[in-house]
Structure 1
Amino acid sequence: MPDALQKLLGRLQELNEVGAALSRERDIDLLLERILDAAQMLTHADAGTLYRVTDDGSALRFALVRTHSLGLHQGGRSGQAVDFPDLPLYLPDGRANDSLVAVHAAVHDCTVSIADACGSADFDFAGSRAFDQRTGYRSCSFLTVPLRNHDHELVGVLQLINAIDPATGAVQAFSQEDCSIAESLASQAAIAVTNRLLITQHERLFESFVSLINLAIDEKSPYTGGHCQRVPALTMMLAEAADATTEGPLAAFTMTERDRYELKMAGLLHDCGKITTPVHVVDKATKLQTLYDRIGLVDTRFEVLKRDAEIDMLRRQLALRPQADAAAEEQLQRGLQCQLQELDGERAFLRHCNLGSEAMLPHEQQRVRDIGTGRGWRDPQGRQANFLTPDEIENLSIRSGTLTLAERSIVNHHIVATIRMLESLPWPKHLRNVPEYAGGHHERMDGKGYPRGLVREQLSWQARMLGLADIFEALTAADRPYKRPMTLPQALTIMRKMRDNGHIDPDLFDVFVRERVYLRYARQFLEPEQVDLDAVHAPAP
Structure 2
Amino acid sequence: MQELNQTQIAQRLEQLIELSVELGKRHDTDALLERILQVARGMTHADGGTLYRPSEDQRTLEFAILFNNTLNFYQGGVSGQPVTAPGVPLYDAAGERNLAAVAAYAAHFGLSVNIEDVYKADVFNFSGMVKFDQMHGYHSQSFLTVPMSDHEGELVGVLQLINATDAETGQIRAFSQTDQRFIEALAAQAAVALTNQRLIAQLENLLEALVNLINIGIDDKSPYTGRHCQFVPELTMMLAEAVHNTATGPMADFRMSDGDRKELWLAGLLHDCGKITTPVHVVDKASKLETIYDRIATVDTRFEVLLRDAEIAALKRKLAGAGEPAQIDAELAAEQAALRAERDFIRLANVGGEAMAAADQERVRSIARRSWTGPDGQAHTFLSDNEVQNLTIKYGTLTEDERKQINNHISMTIKMLEALPWPKHLKNVPEYAGGHHERMDGKGYPRGLTREQMSVQARLMAIADIFEALTAADRPYKKGKLLSEALHILGNFSLNGHIDPDLFDIFIRSKVYLQFAHKNMDQKQIDAIDESRIPGYTP
TM-score, structure 2 as length reference: 0.95
Note the C-alpha offset of 1:110: 2.1
Map residues 250-261 of structure 1 onto 2, 5 A cutoff.
250-261=251-262
Say yes or no: does 1:359 pair with 2:355. Answer: yes
Match of 1:407 among 402, 405, 411: 402
Q: SS of 2:49's equivalent?
A: strand
List alignment gaps of at least 5 residues for structure 1: none
Q: Is 258-267 or 244-253 further displaced after alignment? A: 244-253
Q: Distance in 2 between matches of 1:294 and 1:227?
A: 27
Say yes or no: does 1:72 pair with 2:41. Answer: no
The answer for the alignment partner of 1:527 in structure 2 is: 522
Q: Distance in 2 between matches of 1:365 and 1:492?
A: 31
> Is the Cα–Cα contact under 8 Å of residues 47 and 67 in structure 1 kept in the other structure?
yes
Q: SS of 2:529's equivalent?
A: helix
Q: Distance in 2 between matches of 1:353 and 1:486?
A: 21
Q: SS of 1:444's equivalent?
A: coil
Q: Distance in 1 between matches of 2:98 and 2:365?
A: 87
Letter in 2 for 1:357: G
The answer for the alignment partner of 1:263 in structure 2 is: 264
> Is the Cα–Cα contact under 8 Å of residues 97 and 104 in structure 1 kept in the other structure?
yes
Match of 2:504 among 499, 509, 519: 509
The answer for the alignment partner of 2:367 in structure 1 is: 371
> Is the Cα–Cα contact under 8 Å of residues 519 and 536 in structure 1 kept in the other structure?
no
Letter in 2 for 1:396: L
Q: Is 169-178 or 41-50 further displaced after alignment? A: 169-178
Q: 1:93 to 1:337 in 2, by over 3 A?
A: closer
Map residues 297-446 of structure 1 onto 2, 5 A cutoff.
297-320=298-321, 328-373=324-369, 375-446=370-441
Say yes or no: does 1:476 pair with 2:477. Answer: no
Q: Distance in 2 between matches of 1:458 and 1:72?
A: 55
Q: Distance in 1 between matches of 2:14 and 2:519?
A: 52
Q: Distance in 2 between matches of 1:68 and 1:251?
A: 45
Note the C-alpha offset of 1:93: 6.9
Note the C-alpha offset of 1:85: 3.2
Q: Is 531-540 or 379-388 further displaced after alignment? A: 531-540
Letter in 2 for 1:335: E
> Is the Cα–Cα contact under 8 Å of residues 484 and 528 in structure 2 kept in the other structure?
no
Letter in 1 for 2:460: M
> Is the Cα–Cα contact under 8 Å of residues 476 and 485 in structure 1 kept in the other structure?
yes
Q: 1:477 to 1:136 in 2, by over 3 A?
A: same
Note the C-alpha offset of 1:28: 2.3
Q: Distance in 2 between matches of 1:537 and 1:16?
A: 61
Q: SS of 1:225's equivalent?
A: helix
Q: SS of 2:224's equivalent?
A: coil
Note the C-alpha offset of 1:538: 7.4
Map residues 127-206 of structure 1 onto 2, 5 A cutoff.
127-206=128-207
Letter in 1 for 2:15: E
Q: Distance in 1 between matches of 2:95 and 2:482?
A: 65
Q: 1:358 to 1:334 in 2, by over 3 A?
A: farther
Q: Distance in 2 between matches of 1:41 and 1:344?
A: 92
Q: Distance in 2 between matches of 1:289 and 1:257?
A: 45
Letter in 2 for 1:330: A
The answer for the alignment partner of 1:209 in structure 2 is: 210
Q: Distance in 1 between matches of 2:457 and 2:34?
A: 34
The answer for the alignment partner of 1:518 in structure 2 is: 513
Q: SS of 2:223's equivalent?
A: coil
Note the C-alpha offset of 1:94: 7.0
Q: SS of 1:205's equivalent?
A: helix
Letter in 2 for 1:256: S
Match of 2:493 among 498, 521, 526: 498
Note the C-alpha offset of 1:144: 0.9
Q: Distance in 2 between matches of 1:377 and 1:94?
A: 81
Q: Is 31-40 or 376-385 further displaced after alignment? A: 31-40
Note the C-alpha offset of 1:478: 1.0
The answer for the alignment partner of 1:88 in structure 2 is: 89
Q: SS of 2:225's equivalent?
A: coil
> Is the Cα–Cα contact under 8 Å of residues 15 and 42 in structure 1 kept in the other structure?
no
Q: 1:24 to 1:357 in 2, by over 3 A?
A: same
Describe the superposition over 1:152-199 as per-residue Cα deviations: whole angstroms up to 9, x where unpaired.
Answer: 222221001122333333322223332222111100011111111111
Describe the superposition over 1:260-309 as per-residue Cα deviations: whole angstroms up to 9, x where unpaired.
Answer: 00000000000011111111111110000111111111111111111111
Q: Distance in 2 between matches of 1:291 and 1:361?
A: 27
> Is the Cα–Cα contact under 8 Å of residues 224 and 479 in structure 1 kept in the other structure?
no
TM-score, structure 1 as length reference: 0.94
Q: Distance in 1 between matches of 2:396 and 2:508?
A: 28
Q: SS of 1:51's equivalent?
A: strand
Q: 1:117 to 1:536 in 2, by over 3 A?
A: farther
Q: Is 456-465 or 26-35 further displaced after alignment? A: 26-35
Q: Distance in 1 between matches of 2:167 and 2:515?
A: 54
Note the C-alpha offset of 1:535: 4.9
Note the C-alpha offset of 1:422: 0.5
> Is the Cα–Cα contact under 8 Å of residues 271 and 418 in structure 1 kept in the other structure?
yes
Q: Distance in 2 between matches of 1:125 and 1:87?
A: 12
> Is the Cα–Cα contact under 8 Å of residues 438 and 450 in structure 2 kept in the other structure?
yes
Q: SS of 2:35's equivalent?
A: helix
For these two proteins, the number of residue pairs brought into alignment is: 533
Describe the superposition over 1:335-368 as per-residue Cα deviations: whole angstroms up to 9, x where unpaired.
Answer: 1111111111111111111000341011111111
Describe the superposition over 1:228-273 as per-residue Cα deviations: whole angstroms up to 9, x where unpaired.
Answer: 0000000000111111111112111111111000000000000011
> Is the Cα–Cα contact under 8 Å of residues 48 and 67 in structure 1 kept in the other structure?
yes
Say yes or no: does 1:113 pair with 2:109. Answer: no
Q: 1:389 to 1:256 in 2, by over 3 A?
A: same
Q: SS of 1:61's equivalent?
A: strand
- RMSD over aligned CA atoms reads 1.9
Describe the superposition over 1:474-525 as per-residue Cα deviations: whole angstroms up to 9, x where unpaired.
Answer: 0011110111111211111000000001000111111111111111111211
Q: SS of 1:343's equivalent?
A: helix
Letter in 1 for 2:506: V
Describe the superposition over 1:81-127 as per-residue Cα deviations: whole angstroms up to 9, x where unpaired.
Answer: 33333333355677653332212222232222222222222322111
Q: Distance in 2 between matches of 1:8 and 1:450?
A: 65
Q: Is 207-216 or 531-540 further displaced after alignment? A: 531-540
